Amino acid sequence: MTFLQPFFLAALAAVSIPLLLHLISRWQSKRVDLGTTRFLLEILHDQAHRKRIRRWLLLALRMAMVAILVLLFARPSLPKTSRRDGDRMRLILIDRSASMAVRSGASGRLIDAAMVKARESATELGDDAKIEIAFFDSDVHPFQDDHDKLETPKKLTAGTRLTDALRWARDRCIANPNDRADVIVITDLQRSGLDGADDIGIPSDVQVELVDVGREVADNLAVLDLRTPDGIRPPNRSLSTSATIFNFGPADHVDIPVILTARMGPAKHYVRKTVTVPSKQAVDVEAELVDLAPGRWEITLDVDSEDDLLDDNRRRTAVLVAPPARVLVLDGGSEGRDETYFLRTALAAQRVDLEALSGRTESEKDEDAEESADGVRFQPEVIYLDEATRLPNLSDYPLVIVADPGEMLAAEIESLHRYVDDGGRLMVFAGPRLADSAARDWEESGLAPGMISKPRRAGSVPYRMTSWDRDHPMLEPFADPQHGDLSRLAFRTAVPVKPSEKTLVLASFEPSFPAITEHNVGEGRIVWCSVPVTRQWGNWTASPLYLPIIQQMSADLLGQTGEGPIRKRICGSEDLQPQKNQLLNATRTDSRGPGFYPNGTSLTVVNLPADESDITRMEPAEFYDGFGLVAPESEDTVQQDNQKDTVSYDELWPWLIVALLGLMVTEYWVAGRTPG
């Protein structure tokens, strides 16, 4: 224990005051002459023992009270645990982003130099210090083993996120408040690491030292992007690709060979070109691949250049080449009384990019529809139920559309059920001829979304879609009303359906009146629409939205919406949950390295993050300022060092107050029971 104001201890002499008062009080007592003190002595003798104890106790209490009062002024305290070398903690952050693969010197890479620095830092403080190591790229990866088992990471593929790394260090400091901590950040000072920089909140007495293993000047020629048209490409047609190549180095790259390769199994296509890329500039390279057979093609662009970072000299993509999907349209009428003309026309049209058409007038959209079209995806084939004796082999069609379910016989409905159960896709548009008996057949087959009611006419206000699932891949393009407002579609009549528990309502006229539903039967899926495909109950066939919505519904059933069969990722942490509006965005991450990863009918294409190719460096001052850190070897740091040596104290005055109060109460009680 120590005293913050020890000079007050001189007042301990006041402890003698109760003693003096005790003596003075004896001297100042009143004198009375008695004829005899015999009786008094008898009394006092009986009380003598108790009285003696109480007197001493009283004296001791009073002296203790004075002593405590003096101590209060002297402020006794207990020092907090002082920091010693044995309580040191060092946090080492090692950059293992893709840019750390840059060559360093004659051999090795930046990561190798970083590992050497890390080992030096880990052993510098001796065996008593606590060492915690973490690798970081776009995420933080704490190293759980002893630092002497530190090994160079094999995979350097992800981006750089210094913010998360420094937050990890901050949290470790806070979790160990009694340790004298410092942080070593070993990195190549890539500027992209500043993204998202903010005041981290590392305790001010924690020194953060930056170990720069980067190269002041490095040469890097990188393929930043490789693009192909979206969607399924028709076979035997040329495929245009384009790539962006950036020269981050100080010197121009002249006549650099560029090779575009497309592979599908044993089949290969090559396109060779040369490019010249000036220093600090980008060049777009275009190439065409011709006569690609139907199938899934893996496409790679390589830049043949011996620069300092080779991993970004290659970029990957993939494309699915397939003929338009065969779609069987079951028309309830006859060739002369065609009910599915508009449907077939919409299916046969080329793909419309809604976003490209946004902001334009209706007439402009109509005029430009063909210009912005992006290939025919569907090949509709119609069967007129009035004329057909039996249905064709449904398994030949990936998608079957029923235009008027009221015209279907029970046996035909049963065939459809088998088709869907085996994995087929079915789209049904309710029609005016959906009588009670037909509706029961559909319900009993399980192909109906629920209980079907008779068609219901709208009142003076037509039925409009008031809500739809904007996150569903089928309707995601209509999430932004600028791209198409489904509520503009109006219907005079619709067929109410009470959806079963397994039915998913995708769009509704009213909360309890579904417009579009989907449900599964066996291996297949069914989309049910409560209005006919014709304009019988609403003139929606004339709306610009008719074509895209028919195509979206069909494409969704065929798995062509959302990401589709080809998923594009960049190296990083495993991103299991898609972010909103990121279905068509290639910024989702994958923890695997760059490459092609087939998975059944889908293919995942993983590339390096493009920003890792930019090896532009930041200044150390930018690092410290960006994250709100104090650079070492400044006056503040010196002051922090001094502060580390400052011992803080736990003062004991609250306990002394309690003790003093207790003594006062006790003294009062004893004094009242003690004869003088």
Partner 1 sequence: MPLLGSRSKPTTAEPATSRSGYLTPDELADLTGVELRAAGIVEGFMQGLHRSPFIGYSVEFSSHRKYAAGDDPRHVNWKLYARNRRLYVKEFDAETNLNLYLMVDCSHSMQCRAGSPLSKWQYSTALAGALSQISLRQRDAVGLSLLASGVIEHLEPSAKPGRYADLVRLLDSSPSPKETNLRRSLSQAAGLAKHRGIVVVLSDLMDDPDEVLDGLRQLRFRQHEVVLFHVLDPWERWLPDPGKVRFHDLESSLEVTTETDAVRDAYVKRIDSWCETLRGECLRQSIDLIQVTTDQAPTQVLVDYLVRRSNQTVAG
Q: How far is the CB of 664 from partner 1 (least distance, A)?
A: 20
Which of 43, 293 has the CB closer to partner 1? 43
Cβ–Cβ < 8 Å for 150, 109: no
> 574 CB contacts (<8 Å, ≥6 apart)?
589, 590, 591
Which of 126, 676 has the CB closer to partner 1? 676
Q: How far is the CB of 17 from partner 1 (least distance, A)?
A: 18
Which of 46, 422 has the CB closer to partner 1? 46
Which of 49, 84 has the CB closer to partner 1? 49
Q: Residue 509: phi, psi to the nearest 5? A: -80, -45
Nearest to 596 by CA among 574, 621, 567: 567
Which of 55, 119 has the CB closer to partner 1? 55
Structure tokens at 428: 């049904």
Structure tokens at 58: 């009283």
The site map against partner 1 for 412-451 (x = CB under 8 A) is ----------------------------------------
The site map against partner 1 for 23-52 (x = CB under 8 A) is --xx-xxxxxxxxxxxxxxxxx-xx---x-
Q: How far is the CB of 36 from partner 1 (least distance, A)?
A: 4
Which of 44, 647 has the CB closer to partner 1? 44
Which of 7, 27 has the CB closer to partner 1? 27
- Number of residues forming the site for partner 1 (CB under 8 A): 25
Cβ–Cβ < 8 Å for 498, 511: no
Positions in 446-505 near partner 1 (CB under 8 A): none
Positions in 6-25 near partner 1 (CB under 8 A): 25
Between CA 182 and CA 167 the distance in angstroms is 14
Cβ–Cβ < 8 Å for 71, 659: no
Q: How far is the CB of 651 from partner 1 (least distance, A)?
A: 40
Q: Judging by DSSP bridges, how do beta strands 267-277 and 253-264 pair with one another?
A: antiparallel
Q: Residue 494: phi, psi to the nearest 5? A: -155, 160
The 10 Å Cβ neighbour count of residue 163 is 19
Q: How far is the CB of 56 from partner 1 (least distance, A)?
A: 16
Strand partners of residue 457: 493
Q: How far is the CB of 658 from partner 1 (least distance, A)?
A: 30
Positions in 199-238 near partner 1 (CB under 8 A): none
Query: Which stretch, 144-152, 302-310, 517-525, 668-676, contacts partner 1 (CB under 8 A)?
Result: 668-676
The site map against partner 1 for 74-93 (x = CB under 8 A) is --------------------
Q: Residue 433: phi, psi to the nearest 5? A: -95, 20
Q: How far is the CB of 78 from partner 1 (least distance, A)?
A: 42
Q: How far is the CB of 662 from partner 1 (least distance, A)?
A: 24
Alpha-carbon distances of 542 from 298, 342, 420, 477, 532, rounded to whole Å: 40, 9, 31, 20, 14
> 237 CB contacts (<8 Å, ≥6 apart)?
292
Q: How far is the CB of 26 from partner 1 (least distance, A)?
A: 6
Which of 42, 355 has the CB closer to partner 1? 42
Which of 38, 390 has the CB closer to partner 1? 38
Between CA 666 and CA 57 the distance in angstroms is 10
Between CA 617 and CA 188 the distance in angstroms is 7
Q: How far is the CB of 62 from partner 1 (least distance, A)?
A: 16
Positions in 312-371 near partner 1 (CB under 8 A): none
Which of 423, 675 has the CB closer to partner 1? 675
Which of 36, 599 has the CB closer to partner 1? 36
Alpha-carbon distances of 119 from 136, 651, 674, rounded to whole Å: 16, 42, 75
Alpha-carbon distances of 215 from 105, 158, 187, 615, rounded to whole Å: 9, 19, 11, 9
Between CA 564 and CA 322 the distance in angstroms is 13
Positions in 548-587 near partner 1 (CB under 8 A): none
Nearest to 429 by CA among 322, 537, 556: 537
Between CA 179 and CA 82 the distance in angstroms is 10
Q: How far is the CB of 28 from partner 1 (least distance, A)?
A: 8
Contacting residues toward partner 1, per CB under 8 A:
25-26, 28-44, 46-47, 51, 674-676
